[in-house]
Every structure is written in C-alpha cells, then in structure tokens.
Amino acid sequence: MAEEKRKFRVEVCFSPDEFDLYKQEYSVVVAIDVLRATTAICTAFEHGAEKVIPVSTVAEALVYKNKGYMAGAERNGKIVEGFEFGNSPFSYMGEAIKGKTLVLTTTNGTRAINIAAATHKVIIGALVNLDAVIAYLIDQPDDVLLLASGWQGKFNLEDSICAGAITEALLESGKYMSDEDSTIASLFLFKEARVNYFGFLKASSHRRRLRNLNLNEDIKYCLTPNQTRVIPVYKDGALVKMEL
C-alpha cells in the first residue's frame, strides 16, 4: 500500500465534455487528437514553427488571419471556406512553417486543448510523438490525465487507442497506477489495435469520414508512431516546443 501510494496516477478521459468529471485529481493533461489536430501541431513544431495558437472558434481564427497570421481552420474534416488550410499535417511541413506563429481551430482538438489549458498544465500528444510523450511523463512528478478529443463530444477510437498506448508504457514503468474503467478499456483497445492501427481503425467513424474526403494519406501519416520527438506545451496562451 505504501508502495502504491507513492505511484502517480494516469487516467483516460474519453471526451472534453467529460473533463469536469475528471479534472480535479490531476495536474498535467495530455491533449490527444490523433486525427488530426495534435498530429498537425507536432508536425508544425518538427518543421520549425515557433508558436501555435489554438483557438476554439472560426471567428477568432479569422481575426488572426486578417492580421496576417498563417491560420488554419477545420470543421467536420474539411477546410473552412476562406482559409487555405485546415488540420492536415501535410499543410504544416516545409520551409514556409519555419519560425512562424500559426493559428489553428479544429472541430475537436483545439477545443480540448483550450478547455484543459484554462486550469491545467497541457502538453500535446499524438501517435507521431508517442515515445517522446511517454519518456517525458515517466520523468515528471505529477498525476496525469490523458484527454481524448473525441468527435463532437463523443468517444472516438483513435484517441482512446493512443491514450491506451501511453497508459501501458507508464504502468510498465512502475511509476504509475490507474483505476478508472475508461483507462482499463483504453488498454484493452490498444492491445487489440497495436499490431495494425490502420487495419483496426478501418471501421472507425472518423476514419470513414476522412476516407470519404480522400484523406487516406493523412490517416496513414497520423497513425504512424514516433515521427518526431517534439512535445508541444501550452504556455501564456500559445503552444511552444518544450525545452527538454
């Protein structure tokens, strides 16, 4: 029991709508939106972005765009009219990104980030920076909530599986414990999915949604783990690259 007490907690929250039910007990929140916001954000920093400002509404994004910022806006998987890009990771690569402050609003991910950032330390997790996030969490000293962005408030598979992957590694480190049913479910879903994320998620509603928008290349990229070591962290109203 004494041993147990010294361990940190890691738990999974399936939707930003449920954040209030969980938030009291944790200091650090990992915001996860595998398809595609947090993947795109990690990609932007990997390609040299200086800051990413997550905003919750298209109106806010437009204000920044009119001020000359590079602004991306996505709703229901599509680029919002009047914007050049949405949340495709491929829009956040290359020289154009280097040193820039970007602004982004998406259906689920930026909402989850801003809900948590109001009260908690927030870092950005995705499959593309999976091992970096795990390594960071193993060495930090607080209880951790893995916040899935879901889909319009509903449970989604891809974020839950990413949360399960992080949870399994943290439990195996021996430094963490967990006891929420949502966390147990995420672990089982990850065990099912780990052999082939792409195959496992074939039936998932959001993958279907994106496939119908001819975004299979995006999906493959988003479901390929460990393409970067960057960990974006929320600081003073914007995401910046964590200095490790």
Candidate list 27, 76, 119, 205; residue touching a copy of itself; CB under 8 A: 205
> How far apart are CB 92 and a copy of itself at their closest, in Å?
25
Task: For residue 204, state whether it binds a copy of itself (rule: CB under 8 A).
Answer: yes
Looking up tokens 């930090």, which residue turns up?
140
Give least dist CB 107 to a copy of itself, A.
14
Binding residues for a copy of itself restricted to 177-196, rule: CB under 8 A: 179-182, 184-185, 188-189, 192
Question: What's the min distance (Å) between Cβ of 24 and a copy of itself?
Answer: 13
- Hey, which residues between 54 and 93 contact a copy of itself (CB under 8 A)? none
Tokens of 138: 């193993």
**Identified binder of a copy of itself from the candidate list 19, 83, 85, 151, rule CB under 8 A:** 151
- Between residue 3 and residue 22, which ones bind a copy of itself under the rule CB under 8 A? 14-15, 17-18, 21-22
CB of 127 to a copy of itself, least distance (A): 16
Which residue matches tokens 């598979």? Answer: 157
Judged by beta carbon, residue 93 or residue 171, the one nearer a copy of itself is 171
Neighbours of 19 (CB within 10 A): 18
Cα(126)–Cα(116) distance, integer angstroms: 16
Contact residues: a copy of itself, CB under 8 A: 14-15, 17-18, 21-22, 151-157, 160, 179-182, 184-185, 188-189, 192, 203-206, 208
